[in-house]
Amino acid sequence: MTLPTAPTPKPAPPPAKPAPAWQRPLVRWATRFSLAAPRWLPTWLRHAPMKAISYALRVYYKGWD
């Protein structure tokens, strides 16, 4: 009979990327546009900048996967 071995530890996650300089102005612009857009614009158009920035940040931080 063999004794159970200790589980191997998981490797440490990679260090977090620092926030890039282009991130804050684009997020502010997209938020300002979405909140200040006239209500007669369709919702998909009002929220398009926020969705685009969200996708860009997701790709930047997580990659294309």
Closest residue by Cα to residue 20 from 53, 65, 64 = 53
Q: Residue 22 domain-assigned? A: no
Structural domain of residue 50, as residue ranges? 28-62
pLDDT for the residue 37? 92
Q: Residue 9 domain-assigned? A: no
Instruction: Give CA torsion, residues 31, 52, 54, 60, to 10 deg.
Output: -130
Euclidean distance between CA atoms 61 and 26, whole angstroms: 16
Q: Residue 45 domain-assigned? A: yes
Predicted TM-score (pTM) of this structure: 0.62
Task: Work out how many domains the chain is built from and give that number.
Answer: 1
What is the mean pLDDT of each successive set of 10 residues along the chain, which is 65 residues long? 76 77 88 93 94 89 73
